[in-house]
Amino acid sequence: MTMSNIWIVDLEAVESRYTGQWKTFFPKILKEYFDGCYNINVIDGPNDIPNATTPGAFLNFGGTNIYKSAQMVKIARLFTEGKIQPMDHFIYTDAWNPTILQLKYMSQLLQIPVVIHGLWHAGNYDPNDFLGRLIKDRWVINTEIALAQAIDHNWFATKDHQFMFKTNRLFDAPEEDGEAVNTELTGWPMGYLQDLIKPAESKEDIILFPHRISEEKQPRIFKDLATALPQYKFVVCQEYDMTKDEYHSLLSRSKMVFSANLQETLGISCYEALLAGAIPLVPDRLSYTEMYHETFKYPSIWTESWEDYQMHKKELVSQIKLMMEYHSGYADYIESDRDRLTEQYFSCTGLINKLAWYAKR
């Protein structure tokens, strides 16, 4: 009996982001779980695409299409060479990939059924995402509906993100189509971070802004806080050309990571803060609400807009001073949230269990 394949259709690797780490660690995770059950393969693109992201964005908007187009050529060749077997699994580490539609096209016309998994990061259905802010045309809505329908298992890392997708996109589809879309929860495949990030022996009075410099992340608030709290060192990380290792070193010495984000479907940087023994100070909204202990959350209204921030600035400044001065008093909360988030949100248990279920059939 021929062993089924898992084909990982990956994201282009940006060294300063987790996409670079996934290049190495995601295939390794699957091989550790499924050695002898599945053949693990990676479908990637060329290495010579622009590495710099479009300003404020997650990827380079031109380079990502060069990468995905090359992946499509590889997938088509695999079909024409007879290397795709019935019930092979295709795992898209970014579900916003138009090659999913072409994969479905070939699978059904050639009558070689495959199982498609897609990990959703963001899209037009999120009004604070680039696609949500810049593109208002109907084509993008229809494309996301088609992608979700073509994917057998639409994976989300948090309940907040899953609910947003179902509310803002699937309810936009015809009722029978919306019901046909399968959405499921799984943590992101990032358990390896525990081995990469550790607290430094001593902490410094450093507060980090580890997010993209984009309007939905509200860096203006962070920079204004820096003027109100000159006794601390405020660092906007993306303003420095740091490698991942350099960033982790800085994080390990820091006492706090701050967020005023208006978009956050998971929030990897705040989890990294816990691993580094730093306090994640986050608004009580988005994915943060379900993920973090009340100790780490401030009222959402404090930073829902620049005007709201101005009204509540004194309260936020006082909260930061308290946490920075008594950082050691939060150690138990940091440890508790670190362990809970590792288990529930940063190990891809849902996806692993689903693949194991298929393997036993």
Residue 5 pLDDT: 97
Query: 359: helix, coil or strand?
Result: helix
327-349 burial: b if 16+ Cβ within 10 Å, else e: beebeebbeebbeebbeebbbbb
CA gap 36, 27 in Å, rounded: 14
State both tokens at 330: 């939060």
CA gap 242, 251 in Å, rounded: 12
Residues of the chain with CATH 3.40.50.2000: 5-190+347-360, 193-344
CA gap 19, 25 in Å, rounded: 10
Question: Which among 121, 123, 142, 148 has a CA at the least distance from the CA of 134?
Answer: 123
Sheet with 5-9, strands from edge to edge, namely 39-43, 5-9, 88-92, 114-119, 153-156, 183-185
Whether the full predicted model's pTM is greater than 0.85, yes or no, is: yes
Strand partners, 207: 234, 256
CA gap 231, 82 in Å, rounded: 64
* 335 vs 128: which has the higher pLDDT: 335
Question: Comparing 81-95, 162-176, 306-320, which segment has the lowest mean pLDDT?
Answer: 162-176
Residue 56 pLDDT: 46
Average pLDDT, the chain: 92
Q: Are 253 and 203 in contact (CB under 8 A)?
A: yes
Return the DSSP state at 301.
Answer: G
Q: Does residue 10 have a pLDDT over 60?
A: yes
Residue 177 pLDDT: 60
Residue 178 pLDDT: 56
CA gap 185, 120 in Å, rounded: 11
State both tokens at 16: 């300063």
Instruction: Pinpoint the alpha helices (H) of the chain.
Output: 18-34, 63-80, 99-109, 130-134, 138-150, 159-168, 175-180, 193-196, 219-228, 244-253, 268-275, 288-291, 306-325, 331-344, 349-360
Q: Are 93 and 11 in contact (CB under 8 A)?
A: yes
Q: Are 88 and 114 in contact (CB under 8 A)?
A: yes
Question: Comparing 88-102, 174-188, 322-336, which segment has the lowest mean pLDDT?
Answer: 174-188
Fold entry, domain 193-344: Rossmann fold (3.40.50)
CA gap 42, 177 in Å, rounded: 31
Mean pLDDT of the 258-285 span: 97
Mean pLDDT of the 244-250 span: 94
Q: Are 91 and 9 in contact (CB under 8 A)?
A: yes
335 confidence band (pLDDT: 50, 70, 90)? very high
Fold entry, domain 5-190+347-360: Rossmann fold (3.40.50)
Task: State the DSSP string of 168-232.
Answer: HTGGGS-HHHHHH--EEE---S-TTHHHH----SS--SEEEE-S-SSGGG-HHHHHHHHHH-TTS
CA gap 163, 183 in Å, rounded: 10
pLDDT digits (tens, 9 = 90+) for 78-122: 999 999 999 999 999 999 999 999 999 999 999 999 999 999 999
CA gap 46, 17 in Å, rounded: 18
Residue 20 pLDDT: 78
CA gap 348, 187 in Å, rounded: 4
CA gap 122, 352 in Å, rounded: 22
CA gap 188, 132 in Å, rounded: 23
pLDDT digits (tens, 9 = 90+) for 14-61: 765 677 788 889 999 999 999 889 999 999 999 887 765 555 444 677
